[in-house]
Amino acid sequence: MARMSRELRILIVDDDALVRGGLSMMLDGVHGISVVGEAADGDEVTAAADTHAPDVVLMDLCMKRVDGIAATRKLRARPRAPEVVVLTTFDSDENILHALRAGAGGFLLKDTPPPEIVDAVRKVAAGDPILSPRITRRLMDRAATQSGAYERARAALESLSAREHEVVQAVAEGRANAEIATRLYMSVPTVKAHVSSILTKLDLDNRTQIALLAHDAGLA
């Protein structure tokens, strides 16, 4: 909530200077959003994050020295890490799954309309996962059919309480905290507490990974 009470600070990571310039121009013109820095390769990300303290990193995947997946994994392993939204032209199943499992909170294609990119930045900053609609079903189908994924996911979910299982189900359906609170007859702070507990118990980074695990387990 603290992030949403001030301007969102954005770091753009892409090896194409024209892409960085276009995204910076587009986002800097939006009320409540400020582009605070740019990086041209994945090996520059952690230093740029230290310098600029972004709330959200827009991350390209294919870069010459360190790719976006490795950069996301390294960044998200740090304390108080910013959220990451992958923005790429490469939408293979492997790229999507690797990026999300590395800790990205969103995955968008570069032909996504600017208003949807802005909406995604705001939602991911607020803790809501975002995927390009046309890849969501394909991703979930792939995740559910990976070898051994069902058994591993079911075993992991056994550590949760019955109430936490209900929250996992709702998260997998893409419901926001307010919707979950209404559906399960609890307060929004209680929902947030359950989500935090689920992330800790399952050793996950964000709600997107909860949704992936739920789909692996056949809950959605």
Rg for the chain (alpha carbons), in Å?
17
What are the residue ranges of CATH 3.40.50.2300 in the chain? Answer: 3-140
Residue 84's alpha-carbon distances to 171, 192, 198, in angstroms, are 19, 20, 20
pLDDT in tens, 113-170: 899 899 989 989 988 878 776 666 665 565 555 556 778 888 889 899 999 999 998 8
| Per-residue pLDDT tens over the stretch 26-64 | 998 899 999 999 999 999 999 999 999 999 999 999 899
Task: List the CATH code of the domain at 3-140.
Answer: 3.40.50.2300
What is the CATH number assigned to the segment(s) 147-216?
1.10.10.10
Residues of the chain with CATH 1.10.10.10: 147-216
Overall pTM > 0.85:
no
136-141: which pairs have CB atoms within 8 A and are 24 or more residues apart?
138/93, 139/93, 139/96, 139/97, 139/100, 140/212, 140/215, 140/220
The answer to whether the beta carbons of residues 39 and 23 sit under 8 Å apart is no
* End-to-end Cα distance, the chain: 28
